[in-house]
Amino acid sequence: MTRLRTLRSRLLLWVSGPMLALWVISTLVDHEVAKGFVNLNYDRALLDTALDLGRNVRESGDRPYIDLPPSVIELLISGQQGRLYYRANKSNGEYITGDPDLPDPPADTQTGRVTYYDAIYRNSPIRAVAVRVPVSPGSGRGSILIHVAEKSALRADSARQIMLRMMLPQAILVLIATLAVWFGVGLGLRALTSIRTEIENRSHVDLSPIVETGTPVEVRPLIRAMNDLLSRLSASLAAQQRFIADAAHQLRTPVAALKTQTELAMRQVRDDEAKATLQHLQTAADHATRVVNQLLTMARAEPESHRNVIRQPVDLKALACEVTGEWVPRALTRKIDLGLDETSVPAEISADPFLIREMLNNLIDNSLNYTPSEGHVTVRTRRQDNHAVLEVEDDGTGIPVDERAKIFDRFYRLPDSGPEGCGLGLAIVREIAQGHQATVGVHTGAGGHGTRMEITFPATR
């Protein structure tokens, strides 16, 4: 049997199993009780018949007989469900009238005036009564024995009928009880459903405790356990955030010292060879800066750290203007024409401005790295069926189609890429996009050259 996964089906099994067993047992008990009642009534009817016969015993000389016309006797022994058998004999056993071979009561039960007994007659089980009747009451002339019997099968039939008639209502009861459990459990679980809805509707950054009031007492330990887990999770996330902030401080200050001292040394040194060495040092320090910044952004963009995300209205175009402008001086030193597409339209999204800014920083940085001098990098914002779209397009080396799926992996770098970048830029872009339920598309740029990265934000209202 497969494991029952819902509480409802388990409860149903636990309740309906015993109910069915009870139904069977009660049916058997009913049968026994019915047999008892049927026996009692049928025995009384047999006795009545025997007494009717006994009341009409007369004596003619020394020979007793039943003083009834054959038609009346016939009427008396024709029971409701078939003919009865009867026999009368003297107390010494001498046959008087009736069915001559009707068996006597078993020897050990022959006591008292009235004796009921079971026996076999003409190969069928029968139920019989033997009644001792005085020949002439008060005369002291002795008595005769009257036996009346009928087939036992009649009684078994009646008992079975009664049992069957009781089985049906009981089956209906079992069914109703089962349905009551089914719906009752559903109603009882509604409290859990409301808790589930509360948890489902939470933003993934909400780690506040679940409200306990109004929930069933049975469910509270579960809620408490969950709240306990939430608070531990929240504490560990806070610790992680503190660690990130501390790590930022601890890493950035020495790198700043390194950069400052290198820059100073380059100003002081006249020797060209030493200058070249310092230039390498400067480049390495810049690289370290980028890696530190990207690692920290990565840590911050990870979903687990989204607790403190500020969602606020952000105009993509205004943000694109600002961020792109900041990159223009660097693009100019590489003789790359970086700009904002004139067709860009304002497009408002609900987002963490810091993270969206970092996303665009990484997209532009990436495009500049893969665009040779005299190339173009264009940032664009547009609206497409209620979706705000942010694009960065370049006419650089482009990304081969079979590499496109891999470029978002952490530390992945295109095989022929230069020394710049550490392979985290696009991973950051993807993390931030996911955090904002946005999708990232990689396309070939206009005219079949370069790359167009497309961030599509969820539809607004």
Residues that bind other proteins (CB under 8 A): 245, 248-261, 263-264, 267, 285, 289, 292-293, 296, 310, 321, 324-326, 328-329, 332, 337-342, 344, 353-354, 378-379
- CB-wise, 175 or 264, nearer to other proteins? 264
Distance of closest approach, residue 234 Cβ to other proteins, in angstroms: 19
Distance of closest approach, residue 389 Cβ to other proteins, in angstroms: 16
Report the C-alpha gap between 131 and 205 in whole angstroms.
94
The secondary structure of residue 390, as a DSSP letter, is E
- CB-wise, 366 or 381, nearer to other proteins? 381
C-alpha distance across the termini of the chain, in Å: 48
- CB-wise, 261 or 373, nearer to other proteins? 261
Other beta carbons within 10 angstroms of residue 390's beta carbon come to 27
Helix count and strand count (H, E) for the chain = 8, 16
Compute the half-sphere exposure of residue 183: CA atoms within 13 Å on the CB side of its CA: 5
- CB-wise, 302 or 341, nearer to other proteins? 341
In terms of Cα–Cα distance, which of 291, 281, 280 is closest to 257? 281
- CB-wise, 128 or 368, nearer to other proteins? 368
Q: Is-contact 39 110, C-beta < 8 A?
A: no
Distance of closest approach, residue 299 Cβ to other proteins, in angstroms: 12
Distance of closest approach, residue 400 Cβ to other proteins, in angstroms: 28
Q: Which residue has the tokens 């009817």?
A: 45
Distance of closest approach, residue 324 Cβ to other proteins, in angstroms: 6
Give the residues across from 351 on adjacent strands: 312
Q: Is-contact 415 397, C-beta < 8 A?
A: no
Distance of closest approach, residue 229 Cβ to other proteins, in angstroms: 28
Q: What letter represents residue 192's amino acid?
A: L
The secondary structure of residue 65, as a DSSP letter, is E
Q: Is-contact 381 320, C-beta < 8 A?
A: yes
Other beta carbons within 10 angstroms of residue 144's beta carbon come to 24
3-state helix, strand, coil in the chain (%, to 5): 55, 20, 25
Report the C-alpha gap between 9 and 7 in whole angstroms.
6
Q: What letter represents residue 128's amino acid?
A: A
- CB-wise, 242 or 410, nearer to other proteins? 242
- CB-wise, 63 or 330, nearer to other proteins? 330
Distance of closest approach, residue 194 Cβ to other proteins, in angstroms: 36
What are phi and psi for residue 223, nearest 5 degrees?
Answer: -60, -40
Give whole-number Cα distances, 14 to 18, 20, 43, 45, 162, in Å: 7, 11, 44, 47, 30
The dihedral region occupied by 119, where left means phi > 0, alpha psi between -120 and 50, and beta the remainder, is: beta
Distance of closest approach, residue 255 Cβ to other proteins, in angstroms: 4
Report the C-alpha gap between 178 and 186 in whole angstroms.
12
Structure tokens at 411: 């530390």
Distance of closest approach, residue 236 Cβ to other proteins, in angstroms: 20
In terms of Cα–Cα distance, which of 151, 162, 165, 126 is closest to 37? 162
Distance of closest approach, residue 286 Cβ to other proteins, in angstroms: 9
- CB-wise, 149 or 355, nearer to other proteins? 355
Give whole-number Cα distances, 226 to 202, 207, 212, in Å: 14, 10, 11
- CB-wise, 3 or 270, nearer to other proteins? 270
Structure tokens at 421: 């970048």
- CB-wise, 209 or 325, nearer to other proteins? 325
- CB-wise, 289 or 397, nearer to other proteins? 289
Contacts of 303 by beta carbon, 8 Å cutoff, 6+ apart:
204, 431, 434, 435
Distance of closest approach, residue 274 Cβ to other proteins, in angstroms: 17
- CB-wise, 8 or 259, nearer to other proteins? 259
